[in-house]
Amino acid sequence: MIRITGGEYKGRLVKIPKGDKVRPTRAMVREAIFNMIGSRIFGATVLDLFSGSGLLGLEAKSRGAGQIFFVEYNKAVCRILRDNLVSLTQYRRDPILCTTAQRALKQFQQAGVRFDIVLMDPPYQMDVMPILKSLSVTGIVKKEGWIVLERGKTLDINTIPEGLVEVKEKTYGSSKIHILQPLNPSQRK
């Protein structure tokens, strides 16, 4: 179990699946992420991609986000995520999609769902370029929206997909946080 670090649910516990299915974001890194996001979180529509236990999305909810969309592929982990959402918020109105990230992004695009903030904490060794490319071309990240990506500090983003620009990068212990934003049409080549 891990505690929420700030906001309405500060100190409340979140269940973490046993084994190596999930690598929860450490408290220091969560604090840093939400300090970087700042007031953007208030009322924001947030996508917690690669949700795992839902820790980042629940932290966003605790700190004032509007609606959270959770995406997690592993069915057993999805059940724990559902339990966490209900036990923390006492209801489950935020959607949980138990599917792949790419399928979820396609569904959001088809449904016209757009996000202010996308929180991404994929497995550190995962190639995130296909997901970032999808986020850059689907239009599901709002013009001033942010993509917050956690990676291992030794794993750099080699190439930022066309249509995105990195606005911040910070290292915290063994984690590196990248914040990307869609380019305005006037900034594109």
The pTM for the full model equals: 0.91
Q: Classify domain 2-187 at the CATH topology level.
A: Rossmann fold (3.40.50)
Phi, psi for residue 170 in degrees, rounded to 5: -140, 145
**Token couple for 116:** 């202010």
Question: pLDDT in tens for each of the 189 residues of the chain?
Answer: 889 999 999 999 889 888 666 677 788 888 989 999 999 999 999 999 999 889 999 999 999 999 999 999 999 899 999 999 888 876 667 889 999 999 999 999 999 999 999 999 888 778 888 999 999 998 999 989 999 998 876 666 667 888 898 898 888 888 889 999 998 644 444
For the chain, the average pLDDT equals 87
> What pLDDT does residue 154 have?
67
The number of angstroms, rounded, from the C-alpha of 87 to the middle of its chain's C-alpha atoms is 20
**CA 131 to CA 65: how far, in whole Å?**
23
SS3 174: coil
The number of angstroms, rounded, from the C-alpha of 173 to the middle of its chain's C-alpha atoms is 19
Other beta carbons within 10 angstroms of residue 83's beta carbon come to 15
**CA distance readout (Å), 99 to 60, 81, 84, 136:** 21, 13, 18, 20
Cα radius of gyration (the chain): 15
Instruction: Return the closest-CA partner of residue 53 out of 9, 89, 23, 94.
Output: 23
Kindly give, in sequence order, each residue whose CB lies less than 8 Å from that of residue 164, ignoring residues fewer than 6 positions away: 132, 135, 136, 147, 180, 181, 182, 183
SS3 129: helix
Domain ranges of the chain: 2-187
